[in-house]
Amino acid sequence: MVGTLPPGRPGNLTVEQQAKLQEFWKATLKVFGVPDLGGIDVGGSVNSSINGDNEGDPSEHASTLNPEKKSKRKGLFRRRKGDSGDKDDVSVHSSIPDADDKYGQTKEFQQALATQSPEELRKAFWSMVKHDHPDGLLLRFLRARKWDVEKALVMMVSTMQWRSHDMHVDDDIMYNGEAAAYKDATESTGSTKKEGEDFMKIMRLGKSFLHGCDKEGRPICVVRARLHRAGEQSEASLERVTVHIIETARLLLSPPVDSATIVFDMTGFSMANMDYAPVKFMIKCFEANYPESLGVVLVHKSPWVFQGKPLACVSSAVFHLSPISEGIWTIIKGWLDPVVASKVHFTKTTDELSHFISLTHIPTELGGDDPWTFSYPEPQPGENNRMKDGATRHRLLEERATVVKEFENATQKWIESAPQADIVVGQKRNSLAEQLRKGYWQLDPYLRARTWYDRTGIIKPGGTIEYYPNTNGTGEAHDPDGVD
């Protein structure tokens, strides 16, 4: 039900869960080189660590580190309670069992500690926070790892590595966005032109897009499988679009809603549409890098080739059907974490789909009453003009950096405070989290290229989300720079 705050979220934690969150914060701040209150900062200025300003060279941040202090940071993870040294240190030096480390995140964690400074990891974290409550982000990793702080820390740091070094989520995919792909497709040459063309073709076709919300208020991503052909676009462009959509969907989330619904429209699907590589990438994204972000997955009107063909059986003269023959789903299900697999539902009819999405919010294309149809509005000249305003961006980043530091200080006080002081310190932290949320939406036009969700008025200036904006039903464009 929309409006109900699920357990394990900010504002709805048990005493034990809050203790785990405090333990996680303590370990996280140590990884980020944040000193104890009154201590000496490990890694240069606060502003340079979190601002993400493209005017600076990230390598300069690392050069401000004292190598001995960087080694000390790594040493935090070499002792367990009972060993000599700081008893509060969190140990992650031991290998997590392979069965619990499906994506090799322990190795990625160690690589992140070895190759990135505390400041770089801190910068990646606060860049990922965006408009979220910082506690909410940490709690995603804790819930995904069943409240095991060590495993949650490994997962989170490896995600920071993936975002900043592997995918370049914030400094490339979201920073450059659709307009850069459009420019590459029309003005560049060679492989750069091809990647731009691939990206734009996927967007224009509407292979996948966000539209509306389900009965729980979760944003819906529709994937039209029949429009895909293996090899038509590069693997890199498919991955880029996938991350772009996931990150955009994150912007639509607001408590108590913190997950999305995916509808795989399998109408007209055949083996020619099957492509395992992007499926594997999507699974990895949600299981390893965007934990606790999936509400439900609805596989709609899947043919037998996908779900498995029922075989006629005769037993005791009673005719029945048994789904014995293996389909594509059997293979995919084997890749899924059981928790993720449990969120997958198969719907055959519009009536079944309406159990999850109101009929008035199901597009007519899927048999519902919503007259909206997909139409992609092209990037517009000047829609990203504010990204050229380096002075305003820098000022807003400075302001955000100050609030971040205040939040970190308040968090340290919260960790060390007596139980009776928790409420006061907690209120202070929540107030600062709200400042970060509002500050992000002021900063957003200077850091993120506009999307078609901005152009059609779904994402409005200041972070207001309108799932069903006043359009002609075909995506009539609004001014994405904030003037309608």
Instruction: Give 257's strand partners.
Output: 254
pTM (two decimals): 0.85
Candidates 168, 163, 165; CA nearest to 290 is 163
SS3 call for 322 = strand
Stated as kind and residue range, the H or E segment containing 263 is strand 260-265
SS3 call for 218 = coil
pLDDT value at position 479?
Answer: 55
pLDDT of residue 68 exceeding 70, the answer is no
- 66 or 105, which is more confident? 105
Q: What residue type is 46 in one-letter code?
A: V
Q: What is the pLDDT of residues 9-65, one digit of tens each?
A: 999 999 999 999 999 999 999 999 998 765 433 333 333 334 444 444 333 333 333
pLDDT of residue 312 exceeding 80, the answer is no
pLDDT value at position 44?
Answer: 36
pLDDT of residue 476 exceeding 80, the answer is no
Residue range 326-349: mean pLDDT, rounded = 93
Stated as kind and residue range, the H or E segment containing 260 is strand 260-265
Cα distance between residue 429 and residue 379, in whole Å: 39
pLDDT of residue 482 exceeding 90, the answer is no
Q: Supply 146's token pair.
A: 């069943």
- The rounded percent of the chain whose pLDDT value lies above 90 is 75
- 192 or 310, which is more confident? 192
- 126 or 86, which is more confident? 126
Q: What is the pLDDT of residues 414-443, one digit of tens each?
A: 999 877 678 899 999 999 999 999 999 999
Cα distances (Å, whole numbers) of residue 373 to 135, 168, 234, 366: 37, 32, 27, 11
Q: What is the pLDDT of residues 366-403, one digit of tens each?
A: 999 999 999 999 999 999 999 999 999 999 999 999 99
According to DSSP H, which parts of 417-456 are helical?
Answer: 422-447, 452-455
pLDDT value at position 100?
Answer: 72
Instruction: Give 260's strand partners.
Output: 294
Cα distance between residue 318 and residue 478, in whole Å: 61
- 70 or 330, which is more confident? 330
pLDDT value at position 310?
Answer: 55
Cα distance between residue 13 and residue 422, in whole Å: 13
Q: Supply 349's token pair.
A: 């009819």
pLDDT value at position 315?
Answer: 39
pLDDT value at position 457?
Answer: 97
